[in-house]
Amino acid sequence: MRRLARHGYKAYLVGGCVRDLLVGRRPKDFDVATSATPNEVKALFRNCRIIGRRFRLAHVFFGPKIIETSTFRANPREDEDADAPDLLIRRDNVFGTEEEDAVRRDFTINGLFYDVEKEEVIDHVAGLADLEAGLVRTIGDPDVRFREDPVRMLRAIKFAARLDFKIEPATYAALLRQRLEIRKCAAPRVVEEVYRLVRGGAARRSMELLAETGLLEILAPHLAALYEGPVQEEPADGADELDDGLDDEEMAWHRVWADDRSSRARRIPLRLSFLGDPAELLRRRKLAWATLDHFDHLVSSGHDVSNALAVCTLIAPFLADTIVAPATRPGDANQAILEIGQPIVDQLRIARRDAERMRYILFALRKVAAARARNLPLDASSGRDSLEDAVQLAALLAGAQGGAVVRSRGGDGDEGDDDDDADGGEPGSSEEPRKRRRRRRGGRRRHGQVTSLDATPAPTSGP
Numbers of helices and strands, H then E, in the chain = 18, 11
> Which is catalytic among the residues 29, 346, 412, 423?
29
pLDDT-derived band at 449 (thresholds 50, 70, 90) equals very low
Residue 38 has, within 13 A of its CA and on its CB side, a CA count of 16
> Which is catalytic among the residues 92, 101, 106, 354?
106
Quick check: is 106 catalytic? yes
pLDDT-derived band at 305 (thresholds 50, 70, 90) equals very high
The pLDDT value given to residue 137: 97
What does the pLDDT look like over 6-22, one tens digit per residue? Answer: 999 999 999 999 999 99
The pLDDT value given to residue 55: 76
Quick check: is 31 catalytic? yes
Kindly give, in sequence order, each residue whose CB lies less than 8 Å from that of residue 165, ignoring residues fewer than 6 positions away.
Answer: 109, 134, 135, 136, 159
Burial of 209 (0-12, 13-18, 19+ CB in 10 A): buried
How far apart are the two ends of the chain, measured CA to CA in Å? 49
Kindly give, in sequence order, each residue whose CB lies less than 8 Å from that of residue 292, ignoring residues fewer than 6 positions away.
Answer: 203, 204, 207, 313, 314
CB-CB neighbours of 216 under 10 Å: 24
Nearest C-alpha neighbor of 280 from the set 295, 269, 267, 270: 270
The pLDDT value given to residue 294: 96
In terms of pLDDT, which residue wins out, 454 or 155?
Answer: 155
Instruction: Estimate the crossing angle of helix 248-263 against helix 169-178, to 10 degrees.
Output: 50
What does the pLDDT look like over 69-128, one tens digit per residue? Answer: 999 988 755 544 445 555 554 455 678 889 999 998 999 999 999 999 999 999 999 999
The pLDDT value given to residue 95: 84
pLDDT-derived band at 281 (thresholds 50, 70, 90) equals confident
What does the pLDDT look like over 232-247, one tens digit per residue? Answer: 444 444 444 444 554 5
What does the pLDDT look like over 348-357, one tens digit per residue? Answer: 999 999 999 9
β partners of residue 51: 57
CB-CB neighbours of 78 under 10 Å: 12
Q: What is the mean pLDDT of the chain?
A: 79
What does the pLDDT look like over 314-324, one tens digit per residue? Answer: 999 999 988 88
For the cut 50, the answer to whether the pLDDT of residue 405 exceeds it is: no
Alpha helices by DSSP H, 220-351: 221-228, 248-263, 278-300, 307-323, 330-348
Element holding 196 (H helix, E strand): helix 187-199
> Which is catalytic among the residues 20, 31, 149, 321?
31
Residue 149 near residue 110 (C-beta atoms within 8 A): no
The pLDDT value given to residue 304: 87
Q: Which domains, and CATH codes, for the chain?
A: 1-133 (3.30.460.10), 139-219+231-267 (1.10.110.30), 278-415 (no CATH)
The pLDDT value given to residue 75: 73
- Range list of β-strands (E), 20-88: 31-34, 48-51, 57-62, 65-71
SS3 content of the chain, % helix, strand, coil (to 5): 50, 10, 40
For the cut 60, the answer to whether the pLDDT of residue 59 exceeds it is: yes
The pLDDT value given to residue 375: 80
Element holding 199 (H helix, E strand): helix 187-199
Element holding 11 (H helix, E strand): strand 11-14
Lowest mean pLDDT among 139-148, 220-229, 389-398, 451-460: 451-460
Lowest mean pLDDT among 39-48, 121-130, 268-277, 449-458: 449-458
Determine the Cα–Cα distance for residues 320 and 333; give it in Å rounded to an integer.
Answer: 9
Residue 107 near residue 156 (C-beta atoms within 8 A): yes
Determine the Cα–Cα distance for residues 167 and 89; give it in Å rounded to an integer.
Answer: 23
Which pairs from 103-106 meet CB under 8 Å and 24+ separation?
103/75, 103/139, 103/140, 104/73, 104/74, 104/75, 104/78, 104/139, 105/15, 105/139, 106/138, 106/139, 106/145, 106/149, 106/152, 106/155
What's the DSSP call for residue 236? Answer: P
Determine the Cα–Cα distance for residues 26 and 24; give it in Å rounded to an integer.
Answer: 7
Determine the Cα–Cα distance for residues 298 and 391; give it in Å rounded to an integer.
Answer: 13
In terms of pLDDT, which residue wins out, 412 or 359?
Answer: 359
